Structure 1
Amino acid sequence: MCLIAFAWNVHPRWRLVLAGNRDEYHARPSAPLARWDDMPVIAGRDLEAGGTWLGVSTGGRCGVVTNVRDPRLPQVGLSRGLLVTDWLRGQPDATAHARALGGMAAGYRPFNLLTFDAHAGFYLGNRPAPRVQAVTPGLHGLSNADFNTPWPKTRQLMARLQAWLDEGKEDVAPLFAALADERPASDEQLPDTGIGRERERSLSAAFIRGPAYGTRASTVVLIGHAGSGRIIERRFGPDGRPDGQSDVAW
């Protein structure tokens, strides 16, 4: 994933409301959101490395990972997507998992990971050094920088999620509309991550449309306080062409 906003333990029905976009090269093979045959997971699947970028378990867990945008960081180590898969199928609760992963995090490619279960949520990162932070109840955002870094598109998605929460509606169409926003940030708001102003501008919108690289999936996750929920994925091909939708409840 490259853009996430989520509300943790603030909604009367949903303990977790999460909306996010996965930006990736269109040539990278992926399977659509579905129930997996080999474990109790509902997720899309990276057919190159075998993991996933965002998924839920039928027991009510959720995990999502982003990369870290910094050209100075070597992209070496284990695949980030395996972090989500291991969390969703593992036995430890979120607190024990966070403690254990903190000692192994340096062995993975640069990542930001969010994990949630019935009792707790955690942010885990490994650059510049491994760190673990409990997620407090409230509204949060994450992109390809540190947790809650106020990049323009992250702030905008958080604001639109807050508006959805304030309206108290169940219709998720406004969340998908927020994820489909193609307006770039103004130059004075752009972060400087070392990739150049033109590239920063092209990546500053929530939804990225391009022939080779762009938004591949927009996803909304709703998990209730009792553990049941729903995950909806809208997929896109080159130049933002719609490429199907999956909607799975458990």
Structure 2
Amino acid sequence: MCITFVKTARSSFDKYKLILLNNRDEQLFRPTQEMHWHDEILSGVDEQNEARGTWTGLNRNGRIGMMLSITQTQDSKNPDAPSRGGIVNSYLKAADTSSMMNKLAKDASMYNGFQLVALEQNNHGLYQLQTLTNQQVNDISICEWDDEYHVISNSPPSKPYQKAVHGKRLLRERIQESNKMTVDQIFDELFVIATDETQCYPDTQLQFQTQNTDEYNRPLSAIFIRYPEGTRQYGTRCHTLLTIDNENQVSVLERRYLPSESTWQDARFEFVLNRN
């Protein structure tokens, strides 16, 4: 499970071109490298998967990719499916993102459930959001979304989990005055959202996709996931926060959970996007 929150600027007069929050939900002890620069990509790295992929990454030109799974039952997964882990890196390195995503759409049925969230600036310097989803949809195709606020989780945007609906309300409330806010003020508000433990349950879409019990589903129905102690070693283990202002100044904060120490660790990055 993961969930992504995005606010895109409506005009070049907005203070921030992009405001983003991503929660990564995963096995708490899955080997993971912290966010760092590698091969011109800023991201964390999943060390367990041979693809050494990521869930959220960006490059120096401001292209951003996020990988969300589409929740499915264990017995419906193909154990021989190719890894989804490297898809974000492929998007960030692509010379032509349209060609890359069109090819991915053709090959998408080979993979277990996934949803690529792709963000790139258009000719006006504003961010355009696209998604490519391979399950729970009638047609595997690239979708463009023009709303100002977007919240996407582990179901298609057209079939949102209730926590995504709840999260969109929170996002609107918390950062609607973003033009008057500093980066640190925005990050403070995003952390309020990132750590929201409201269980949005029952959720018929979540139940349909998991085919599991209420005890299993209830923790998953919250933005911040944590199972009761002594049950599943699974939950929210990383928050990625990002702003890009109208001068192309990028601010990124990763807060990751260190389960062996029961603490959270921050990493902060500041840079200016390359001029194309």
Question: TM-score w.r.t. structure 1 length?
Answer: 0.89
Which residue is equivalent to 1:181?
196
State whether residues 209 and 238 of structure 1, in contact with CA within 8 Å, keep that contact through their aligned partners in structure 2. Answer: no
CA distance in 2, matches of 1:75, 1:240: 35
Amino acid at match of 2:224: F
SS of corresponding position for 1:18: strand
State whether residues 209 and 240 of structure 1, in contact with CA within 8 Å, keep that contact through their aligned partners in structure 2. Answer: no
State whether residues 35 and 43 of structure 1, in contact with CA within 8 Å, keep that contact through their aligned partners in structure 2. Answer: yes
CA shift for structure 1 position 137: 3.8
State whether residues 232 and 247 of structure 1, in contact with CA within 8 Å, keep that contact through their aligned partners in structure 2. Answer: yes
Q: Does 1:114 align with 2:117?
A: yes
Amino acid at match of 1:234: R
Q: 1:179 and 1:201, CA in 2 relative to 1: closer, same or farther beyond 3 A?
A: same
CA distance in 2, matches of 1:245, 1:23: 17
SS of corresponding position for 1:182: coil
Q: Does 1:198 align with 2:198?
A: no
Which residue is equivalent to 1:14?
16
Aligned runs of 1:37-116 on 2, under 5 Å? 39-49=39-49, 50-71=52-73, 73-76=76-79, 77-93=81-97, 95-116=98-119
Which residue is equivalent to 1:29?
31
CA shift for structure 1 position 103: 1.5
CA distance in 1, matches of 2:214, 2:78: 22
Which residue is equivalent to 1:232?
253
> Identity percentage over the alignment?
24
Aligned match of 2:175 in 146, 165, 168?
165
SS of corresponding position for 2:252: strand
CA shift for structure 1 position 240: 10
Q: 1:73 and 1:15, CA in 2 relative to 1: closer, same or farther beyond 3 A?
A: farther
Offset from partner CA, 1:114-140 (integer Å, 9 cap, x none): 111112331001115522201214211
Q: Between Structure 1 and Structure 2, how many residues are aligned? A: 247
When structure 1 is superposed on structure 2, of 238-247 and 169-178 the one drifting more is 238-247
Q: Does 1:247 align with 2:268?
A: yes
Amino acid at match of 2:20: L
CA shift for structure 1 position 225: 4.6
Q: 1:121 and 1:188, CA in 2 relative to 1: closer, same or farther beyond 3 A?
A: closer
Which residue is equivalent to 1:153?
163
Q: 1:97 and 1:60, CA in 2 relative to 1: closer, same or farther beyond 3 A?
A: same
SS of corresponding position for 1:69: coil
Which residue is equivalent to 1:219?
240
CA distance in 2, matches of 1:167, 1:9: 12
Which residue is equivalent to 1:141?
151
CA distance in 2, matches of 1:185, 1:217: 21
CA distance in 2, matches of 1:84, 1:20: 14
Which structure: larger Rg?
Answer: 2
Q: Which runs of 5 or more structure 1 residues have no equivalent in the other structure?
A: none
Q: Does 1:125 align with 2:133?
A: yes
Q: 1:224 and 1:167, CA in 2 relative to 1: closer, same or farther beyond 3 A?
A: closer
State whether residues 4 and 20 of structure 1, in contact with CA within 8 Å, keep that contact through their aligned partners in structure 2. Answer: yes
SS of corresponding position for 2:20: strand
Q: Which runs of 5 or more structure 2 residues have no equivalent in the other structure?
A: 123-127, 272-276
